[in-house]
Amino acid sequence: MSSLAVKEKTTFRLVFFGAAGVGKTALIQRFLQDRFEHKYKRTVEELHYREYDIDGAKIRIEIMDTSGSYSFPAMRKLCILNSDAFALVYAIDDPESFVEVQRMREEILELKGEKFTPITVVGNKVDLENQRLLATGEIMSMVELDWNASFVEASAKSSENVMGVFKELLQQVNLPSRLSPALRRRRETLPKDSVGIRKKPPMKKTNSCILS
């Protein structure tokens, strides 16, 4: 191999955006810890991570959980510019939350300025099917055909298809063959010190969403 070969990327950041209360934190907690908190708690900003030893290489997956209020536009801009894939989450019983998904997509595309930006649109809370106000078919058609993005419906509460959300995100950053089996075995194979969380103090702007 040429000495000029580019070093393979080993850290990937996945960011969850969406309106307040749509279940971004709940999806991440269900995936990482297989638990669901019934009481809503406002998120400021949290960075979770997991490290995998895949074929002798350490792969670090960072998952950024963001606030639905977006108090600091400059920090959000840095977060978008320094991240690899995006989950845009809405609640199937809240049409306004999908309007926020549309707005966030436009902002991401404008800032990234790339031909293909890895985006997965997530319709959360399918356990509330009897309260659904957003039709699956219409949104899926828009997301997959018009936006050229991935679409997944899930429920953090019931755990339905939560793994599918993360599988789509990883596929979009070209990691399925190496990480999908590891994700299924994540609790059995990961040492305790390979899982972490870093919370951002509410008033410290220096801990912004910048890749370390």
Confidence of residue 165 (pLDDT cuts 50, 70, 90): very high
Structure tokens at 73: 């536009």
79-123 pLDDT, tens digit per residue, is 999 999 999 999 999 999 999 999 999 999 999 988 789 999 999
Give a three-class secondary structure readout of 154-166. CCCCCCCCHHHHH
Structure tokens at 75: 């920090």
pTM metric for this prediction = 0.81
15-31 pLDDT, tens digit per residue, is 999 999 999 999 999 99
pLDDT confidence of residue 202: 42
**Which residue segments constitute the domains of the chain, with CATH numbers given?**
11-194 (3.40.50.300)
179-203 pLDDT, tens digit per residue, is 554 454 543 433 333 445 444 444 3
Spell out the residues 6+ positions from residue 96 whose beta carbon is closer than 8 angstroms to its own.
19
Spell out the residues 6+ positions from residue 121 whose beta carbon is closer than 8 angstroms to its own.
87, 88, 90, 101, 105, 139, 143, 147, 149, 150, 151, 152
